[in-house]
Amino acid sequence: MSVFTSSISSLIADPSALRDTAVITGISTLTLIGILYGIRELGREIRQFRKVKA
**Tens of pLDDT along 1-54?**
566 677 777 777 778 888 888 899 999 999 999 999 999 999 999 999 888 766
Q: Considering the entire predicted model, what is its pTM?
A: 0.67
Give the pLDDT of residue 2: 63
Rounded distance between C-alpha atoms, residue 25 and residue 39, angstroms: 21
Burial of residue 13 (CB within 10 Å: 0-12, 13-18, 19+) is exposed
Give the pLDDT of residue 33: 98
φ, ψ of residue 14 to 5 degrees: the values are: -120, 100
Give the pLDDT of residue 4: 64
Burial 20-42 (b: 16+ CB within 10 A, else e): eeeeeeeeeeeeeeeeeeeeeee
Give the pLDDT of residue 42: 95
